């Protein structure tokens, strides 16, 4: 799947902001080395595990040398990134938006190393960000939701108003409005990504206010939100992974954004000396970022329209 996906990755770049002046000079004769610094545990079956699996896949598929640090607390971020740079790693990745500052400061101290932050939005001479065009995903989900809804009320649920959450929210609203411009989109932020009970309560609350379809973006809390949707018999969506099989009577579709594939593709590009200090924003309709399985409840014509929509977004015909 990932072979030759560099081209698709490059084609998927929608925006390449800021300085693309100098390509990070990478030595060719020595083995290519990459390291990733993660905030949590590599067995969390979630964000950190994604980073760990991404780098180990890169090791196997690309034959590069890799290293990782897990459970790196906030005060240790900068030192961890810098230390890898001092040890001669060519690419050092901070896994998660909270690394934005640390990556920028480490990059100033170590100009010879390319620093990357996943879910980030910054770029510089030797700073790159690897992220998805969350708005597009939100838009497509909103489009499907609107087609399956009575068209009066829908719900959006997340934990904290960070960039990924607000982008998805915006996209969802626009996508929904493209079918039902008058509809009301209820929004709730719980301040807790993992609290299952809290998520369920918030989702039930949205349903009680009239939402007949909800789009939750949470970590462990996702389960609670989906449970609520199932109990109340309203439609819902998955995010990051395809969860249709686990929730066939509730989940319409999933926004699958796979950082493992994105990481491997990026590292292959970096090894080939093609990676630059810019924001790599992956569009919908790529290997890494796509939709999952359609729920059979969705009418054929809606599926076809959705696929066409993805094509237009990917091709840049539709700008958000």
Partner 1 sequence: MIETLLRWTYRLKSVWAVMLALLLGALLIVLAGYDPIAAYRELFSGAFLDYWGVSATIAKVSPLLLAGLAVALPLRVGLFNIGAEGQIYMGGLFASLVALNLPEMPALPGILLCAGAGMVGGCLWALIPALLKAYRDLNEVIVTLLLNYVAINLVSYAVSGPMLAEGAPYPYSEEIRPSLFLPIIMPRTDAHLGAAIAVLLAMLIFVMLRYTATGYAMRTIGSNPHAARYAGMSVRRHIIGAMVIGGALAGLAGAFEILGLKHRLFHLFSAGYGYDGIVVAFLAAGNPLASVLAATFLAGLESGANTMQRAVGVPVTVISAVKGLIVIFVAASLAFSFQRSAWAAVLRRRRETEAALGEVRRGRRHA
Binding site residues, partner 1, CB under 8 A: 35, 67, 69-76, 78-80, 82-84, 86-87, 96-98, 100-101, 109, 119-121, 131, 159-164, 166, 189, 191
User: Residue 35: helix, strand or coil by DSSP?
Assistant: strand
CB of 107 to partner 1, least distance (A): 13
Alpha-carbon distance of 101 to 97, in angstroms, equals 9
Residue with smaller CB distance to partner 1, 166 or 232: 166
User: Of all helices (H) and strands (E), which one includes residue 48?
Assistant: helix 47-62
User: Residue 99: helix, strand or coil by DSSP?
Assistant: helix
User: Of all helices (H) and strands (E), which one includes residue 251?
Assistant: strand 251-257
Q: What would the DSSP string read from start to end of 167-208? A: HHHHHHHHHHHTT-TT-EEEEEE-S-SS-HHHHHHHHHHHHH
CB of 117 to partner 1, least distance (A): 8
CB of 275 to partner 1, least distance (A): 20
Q: What would the DSSP string read from start to end of 256-319? A: EE-HHHHHHHHHHHHHTT--BSSEEEEPTTSSSEEE-PPPTTS-HHHHHHHHHHHHHHHHTSS-
CB of 198 to partner 1, least distance (A): 12
Residue with smaller CB distance to partner 1, 60 or 272: 60
Residue with smaller CB distance to partner 1, 119 or 236: 119
CB of 80 to partner 1, least distance (A): 6
Residue with smaller CB distance to partner 1, 115 or 244: 115
User: Of all helices (H) and strands (E), which one includes residue 114?
Assistant: strand 114-118
Residue with smaller CB distance to partner 1, 50 or 149: 50
């Amino acid at each position: 799947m990932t072979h030759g996906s560099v081209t698709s990755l490059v084609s998927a770049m929608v925006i390449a902001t800021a300085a693309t002046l100098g390509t990070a000079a990478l030595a060719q004769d020595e083995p290519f080395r990459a390291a990733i610094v993660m905030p949590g545990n590599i067995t969390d079956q979630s964000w950190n595990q994604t980073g760990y699996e991404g780098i180990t896949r890169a090791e196997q598929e690309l034959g590069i040398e890799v290293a990782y640090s897990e459970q790196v607390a906030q005060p240790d971020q900068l030192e961890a990134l810098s230390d890898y740079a001092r040890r001669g790693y060519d690419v050092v990745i901070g896994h998660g938006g909270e690394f934005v500052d640390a990556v920028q400061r480490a990059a100033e101290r170590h100009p010879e190393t390319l620093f990357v932050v996943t879910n980030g939005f910054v770029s510089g001479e030797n700073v790159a960000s690897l992220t998805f065009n969350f708005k597009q995903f939100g838009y497509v989900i909103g489009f499907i939701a609107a087609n399956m809804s009575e068209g009066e009320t829908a719900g959006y649920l997340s934990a904290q108003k960070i960039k990924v959450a607000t982008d998805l929210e915006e996209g969802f609203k626009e996508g929904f409005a493209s079918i039902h411009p008058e509809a009301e989109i209820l929004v709730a932020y719980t301040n807790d990504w993992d609290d299952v009970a809290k998520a369920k309560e918030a989702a039930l609350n949205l349903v009680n206010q009239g939402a007949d379809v909800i789009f939750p973006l949470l970590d462990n809390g996702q389960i609670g939100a989906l449970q609520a949707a199932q109990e109340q018999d309203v439609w819902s969506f998955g995010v990051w992974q395809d969860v249709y099989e686990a929730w066939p009577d509730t989940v319409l579709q999933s926004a699958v954004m796979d950082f493992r594939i994105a990481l491997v593709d990026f590292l292959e590009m970096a090894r080939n000396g093609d990676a630059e200090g810019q924001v790599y924003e992956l569009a919908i309709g790529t290997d890494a970022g796509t939709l999952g399985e359609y729920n059979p409840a969705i009418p054929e014509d809606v599926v076809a329209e959705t696929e066409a929509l993805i094509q237009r977004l990917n091709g840049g015909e539709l700008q958000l």
